[in-house]
Structure 1
C-alpha cells in the first residue's frame, strides 16, 4: 500500500475516487492480513459498493478441487512423488491496472487515505485476477521441469513427479553433471538403501565416479558403470513394494549350502532338505551368452533360494549361504561379476530377494566340509530319499539344468 495521503493530495491526482473500510484478518501464524472491504456498504441502493460493479463471471478460475485430484490419484497404478508449493504473499505479487486505482483507496482511523495497487483480499475479481498469471506460471513450470502435472487451489500447488524421473537424467551418457549433483544422488540412494539393503552394492559406482573426480566444479558425463547402477535402481523402485521390514542385524543359519560341477551338475541342501540337478548337454555352448562354472555356481544360489522360499522364509531375515567358491562369495557380496551371464542371473536373484524382503550373506567353507559337493558330482551317499525336496525348475533354466528325482 502507498500513503497515507490527504484527501486533497488524492483529489489532485484522481478527480473521482472511492474509499472502502480497512479491515484485517489474523493468519494461522499470527501475522495480520489487511482486507480492503470492497463490498461495503452492503444492501444500500444509494451507495453501491465497488464489488457491485464487477461481473464475477468475467473472472472465472480453473482451480483443481478434491474431485479432480482424487480422480488422478485413484487412476494411478504406481507410486509418485508429491510436493507442496505455496505462493508467498500471492495476491501482493500481482499489480492492478492504474485505471482501477481510484476505486482501491481505504480510509485510516485518522482520516487519511491509503492506495492499494495490488490484488486485494475483499475484491470480487481478486481470485480470478490471480488465476490468470497462475495459469501461465503452471505452464512455465511444466515446460521447464520434468513434472507429471501440477494441481492448484489458489496459491496452494501440488507438484506430481514420477519416482524414477530424478534418476533418469543420469541415464543420458552425454549429459554432464557436477560433483555436487552426483554426491546428492549418492546420498539419496544411500537413504533408499536402508529400505533396500540388497541394493547397497549399486551405489558403489557413484562413489567410484566421485573418487575419480579431480576438478569438482568441472561437469562430467556419467560413465557406463554408473548408468548400469541407475538402471538397476529404477527397475527396483518401479517394480517393488516400497514398504519393507527392517532387516535383522543377525544372519539366520538354516544350513544352506550348495555346489556345482561341470561333470554332473548341482547339489543344494537347505535346512536338512536336499535337491540334485543335472546339467543338460550343451548347456555351455551358447555363443551369444557364454555360460561357465561361475554361472552354474550362481544358479546354485537361485535354486537354493527357491527351496528356501518354499519353506516359507520370514520377511526381514538375512540368511547365510555356505560356499567353497571364493568367486561365488564375492558375487553374493557385490551382486555382480565380469561375466555377463552371471550378472543376468543375479538380476533375477535380486528381484526375488527384494520381492520377498529377505537378503543373503555368504560364508566360506572348505571343499571337504561342503555337504553338497557329493550331490553336485552325482553322489547321493548319506542322503535319505525322504529328505529330498522337489523343485520346479524355472522355465529360463530348464534348457540348462534338470531335476534328478
Structure 2
C-alpha cells in the first residue's frame, strides 16, 4: 500500500508512563519507604507495572488516532515508539483510495480484534487462508498538510512534517524525547530492526547485533545457567530469527534447557551437550551475516498437494499430486544416542518432500501448506523434534545432504 519514495521517521514519547496519574484508590498499593519514618506515594503509572502497560496503551492508542484524524499518517506505534510514514503529495489520492478499500474490507469482516496485548484489524483473506492484519481501521484519510506552516523546501514535497506532528502533540500534552528522534529517511530503525523502504528488506540493527554477540559470548563463558539466563538468551535469538528464519531449528537445544530448568529456576544447570553446536551456528551468523530478509508481502501461493509421513518399521513416503514414492529404512537405523528416532525420521521425510517439490517446481517461490490430508499422512511442517532439528537446520540453511540424482522421478 505504501507508495514509492515514502520515508519514515521515529519519535519516542518522553517518560511515557509517568504522565498518567493513578486514581487515589490505587495509592495504598504504591507507597515507597524512603526513610526510617518516611514514606512517599508514587502517584503516576510506573514503567514495569503489569497493569500500567494497558493503561498507557489506551492513552497512546487514543493519541495515535487523534494524529490520524488530523491527516497524519500512515502511523504505527509500539508502546512509546512511533513510526511516522509520509508520502509524496502526488501519491495522496491513490493512497487514500487504497485506504478506503481496506477500510471497507475491515468493516465487512468484523473490525477490531484483541490478541494478547495487541489490537489489530482484520481485512480480507490472503492466499494462505489467513486474514489481512492492519494496525488501524483506515477511518481517516491522509491529508496534504504541507501548507500549514513554514518548513524546509524538501519537506514541502510530502504530506506532512514534524511541525505538523508537534502542532497536535503540544495540545495533547505528551512530550517527545528529542534526543531519540530519527529524521525521515528510507531506512528507519524501529523495534530494533532496520526497515529499508526502497529494497523492502528488514535487517537486525547493528547495535542489536553487537549486543546479542556480547550476551552470547558471556553466556558461553559460564558452565551453568539459571532459567532466567537461558530465557534471556533465547528471547534475543528468537527475535533475531524473525529476520533469519534459518535459525529457528538452532533454538531447540535452548528450549530443551528451559524445560529442564523450569522446576528449579534459580538453580544453575549444565546445558545440553548439543547446545554448543547450536551456539556456534548463532555466533557465526551474528558475526558474518546476513541478518536480513525480504519484508513479507502477500504473494500468490502454489498448492503442490504434497504430503509426507514416516513409519519406524517401514520407512518414509511422500505424496505429490496423487503420486507417491517411498524409501525403506535399514535394520538398526534407530540410535537414541545419536538422536535417530521416529521424530528424526519424520524430519527426513519432510526434507525429502521439500527437495522433491523444489525439483518438480523450480520456478515457484511460495507453496501453500495443505489444510487437509489423506488418511494417515502428516501435513505439518512443524515436527515434534529435538535432535532432529539438525535435519531441518540443514534444509533451511541450504545444505545438500541428499543428491538430486537420488530423488524420485515423477
Alignment TM class, shorter chain as reference: 0.3 to 0.5
TM-score w.r.t. the length of structure 1 is 0.35
TM-score (norm 2): 0.35
Q: Which has the larger radius of gyration?
A: 1
